[in-house]
A and B are shown apart, each in its own frame.
Chain A
Amino acid sequence: EIVLTQSPEFQSVTPKEKVTLTCRASQSIGISLHWYQQKPDQSPKLLITYASQSFSGVPSRFSGSGSGTDFTLTINSLEAEDAATYYCHQSSSLPYTFGQGTKLEIK
């Protein structure tokens, strides 16, 4: 099973700040890494596919990068509505796995 480790687990940031979240895989997964945003009492929403492809309708301030074992999700010019928990997910091999999540608080 491929383990995904996200860091940090919690981050408090101010509006308009830039934030970078990381996801590290226990073995190489190529670019089979996807990012989701989950707000309280909502289901997860897809942000980034295959490490760096922005999903339809996602604001341009969200971007992803990386390959192999190290991946990042960057949010430029944070807005209050970006307060959420962010999860990475690997589809390189079954069983699919998720990172433990990064909770983002907007001050």
Chain B
Amino acid sequence: EVQLVESGGGLVQPGGSLRLSCAASGFTFSINSMNWVRQAPGKGLEWVSYMSSTTNSIRYADSVKGRFTISRDNGKNSLYLQMNNLRVEDTAVYYCAREGPGGSWFDPWGQGTLVTVSS
């Protein structure tokens, strides 16, 4: 079964840091580009970050640029999101999602991990 499982969310104070992980199984992780997408409570989907399969292409949403860092370990079938200098507005469920071939659709999505930034 193709599956993504996120972990690492939690409650953090403004200015703090968290590292999210996404464990992949059931497919050849190393050949797929991966993305992080977030959803603030009661809001829509917001794309956060992209990393190509070879790690030579990385992009971020303007809202997180300079604060978040995406990375992957193809040997461990894992994707990561290092989040620094967190803000209240970063509060959201964070999903990792596999990208289809050639820059396309997202499937599957993980179950999500909740990040709450609050004092």
- Using a CB–CB cutoff of 8 Å, the interface residues on chain A facing chain B are 32, 34, 36, 38, 43-46, 49-50, 55, 85, 87, 89, 91, 94-101
B45 touches which one: A32, A46, A94, A101 (CB < 8 A)? A101
**Chain B interface main SS type:** strand
Q: Which of B59, B104, B105 contacts A94 (CB 8 A)?
A: B59
Known: A43-B95, A43-B112, A89-B105. A98 touches B44 (CB 8 A): yes
CB-based contact A55/B109 at 8 Å: no
**Size range of the interface on B?**
20 to 34
Query: Bound complex: CA of A101 vs CA of B45, how far in Å?
Result: 8
The complex places the Cα of A43 from the Cα of B39 at a distance, in Å, of 10
Cβ of A97: which chain B residues have Cβ within 8 Å of it? 47
The verdict on A98 contacting B45 (CB below 8 Å), with A43-B112, A44-B109 known, is: yes
In the A-B complex, the 6 residue pairs with the closest CB atoms: A46-B107, A43-B109, A34-B105, A98-B45, A96-B47, A49-B105
